[in-house]
Copies of this chain bind each other. A is one copy, B any other.
Amino acid sequence: MNNFTFQNPTKLVFGKGSIAQLPKEISKKAKVMLTFGGGSVKNNGVYSQVIAALEGYNLVEFWGIEPNPKVETLRKAVELGKAEKVDFILAVGGGSTLDGTKLIAAAIPYAGDAWELVLNPKLIKTAVPFASVMTLPATGSEMNSGAVISNVATKEKFAFHAHFPQFAVLDPEVTYSLPPYQIACGIADTFVHVMEQYLTSPGQSLLMDRWAEGILKTLTEIAPEIDENPQDYDLMSTYMLCATMALNGFIAMGVPQDWATHMIGHELTALHGLTHGESLAIVLPATMTVLSEQKKDKILQYGERIFGITKGSDGLRVAEIIARTEAFFRSLGLHTRLSELNIGEETIAEIERRFDERGVKFGECQNVNGAVARAILECCL
């Protein structure tokens, strides 16, 4: 096991009716900025619950943080926050609203432009305290310090790490009105978050392996049931808990990580606007295929413990396990091939060029460069 440092201060307030607990968590004296996405929270009752809970607070609202939040939008929120001198921000929405809010919180006390903080997080010295009412289980952003921000002008999409949310309000009932496609993408996103921290080499940590497998197994069990009963409280609370636990550091203690699939997926989103979870469903099986020799032992462990695949030669089992993984994503209703989306050589060449230009090397062996990314993307066709 590798040496590690772990700390996660975020408070979870989880369960039915938990939005009503907001006044316990936010000082009555705070000037609170509420940040929102496109408006779905006005249709599903979340907005009115939040406003009712925060009656008597001094509130200012910022609307319009889009999926894959754009720095161009967030700059407007930063201006508003500076002008209104807000001292708390509550993100009400999904991972994109919260990711955007993490940048807003850091950029309000910063004199320069927000994008500078994405490119160089060391410039972040402080942040306005912030928290979330999470409406879409997927990114895990509610209990980590990371965020992914897009830049329309440069067609770039980068992750950065800064501050943790003070708390996250997680009421599984707010997920009842989610469209099936968003749930499918959220399950895929959660699944791949775990895989990025798990599918490296075996024997790094027996316990972290078991916990990662615990999330993967649970997702494969609940996914078909959620498809049939999207308003089942126990199912949706399990899904919500899985999403949070998949990316809060709990399964990453002392183990190597990969993240190549995410880095390639981010490029697909930056170039074509693919929904994040679907981009991962396309890339992961190909990453497993191209790196199957390097990851073989862990793929075999994963296949046995998650899908019960134990028969046949190593090579046949690896192929079957990758096929089962792709089939799982397809069972969610997601595309798993670039050709289904009319994405081809032009995009592959551009991503290869970007990886080469930046000199990046992703993955637990730091060997996913432009050429390997090309091989993975060709395998997604």
Query: Chain A interface (Cβ within 8 Å of chain B)?
Result: 1-18, 167, 203, 205-208, 210-211, 213-215, 217-218, 221-222, 233-234, 237-238, 241-242, 245, 250, 253-254
Q: Among B6, B11, B14, B207, point to the contact of A214 (Cβ < 8 A).
A: B207
3 tightest Cβ-Cβ pairs between the two chains A and B: A3-B15, A210-B214, A7-B11
**For residue A11, which residues in chain B have a CB less than 8 angstroms away from its CB?**
5-7
A205→B7 contact, CB < 8 A: no
Q: Among B5, B16, B206, B233, point to the contact of A221 (Cβ < 8 A).
A: B206
**For residue A9, which residues in chain B have a CB less than 8 angstroms away from its CB?**
7, 9
12 A-B pairs in the complex with CB atoms less than 8 angstroms apart? A1-B234, A3-B15, A3-B16, A5-B14, A7-B11, A14-B254, A15-B254, A203-B234, A208-B241, A210-B214, A213-B214, A250-B250
- Expressed in whole angstroms, the Cα–Cα distance for A15 and B2 within the complex equals 7
| 4 further A-B pairs in the complex, CB-CB below 8 A; given A7-B12, A207-B241, A211-B211 | A1-B241, A207-B214, A210-B214, A213-B214
Q: Among B14, B17, B241, B254, point to the contact of A241 (Cβ < 8 A).
A: B254
- Expressed in whole angstroms, the Cα–Cα distance for A218 and B205 within the complex equals 10
**For residue A12, which residues in chain B have a CB less than 8 angstroms away from its CB?**
4-7, 253
A245→B207 contact, CB < 8 A: yes
B7→A14 contact, CB < 8 A: no
- Expressed in whole angstroms, the Cα–Cα distance for A211 and B221 within the complex equals 15
- Expressed in whole angstroms, the Cα–Cα distance for A237 and B206 within the complex equals 10
B8→A8 contact, CB < 8 A: yes
**For residue A16, which residues in chain B have a CB less than 8 angstroms away from its CB?**
3
**For residue A167, which residues in chain B have a CB less than 8 angstroms away from its CB?**
7
Q: Among B5, B207, B218, B234, point to the contact of A210 (Cβ < 8 A).
A: B218
**For residue A234, which residues in chain B have a CB less than 8 angstroms away from its CB?**
1, 203
Q: How far is the CB of A150 from chain B (nearest CB, A)?
A: 31
Assuming A5-B11, A12-B7, A14-B5, is B238 touching A205 (CB within 8 A)? yes
**For residue A215, which residues in chain B have a CB less than 8 angstroms away from its CB?**
207, 210
- Expressed in whole angstroms, the Cα–Cα distance for A160 and B186 within the complex equals 40
**For residue A210, which residues in chain B have a CB less than 8 angstroms away from its CB?**
210-211, 213-215, 217-218
- Expressed in whole angstroms, the Cα–Cα distance for A288 and B254 within the complex equals 34
- Expressed in whole angstroms, the Cα–Cα distance for A95 and B46 within the complex equals 44
**For residue A245, which residues in chain B have a CB less than 8 angstroms away from its CB?**
207
Q: How far is the CB of A246 from chain B (nearest CB, A)?
A: 10
Q: How far is the CB of A171 from chain B (nearest CB, A)?
A: 9
**For residue A242, which residues in chain B have a CB less than 8 angstroms away from its CB?**
207
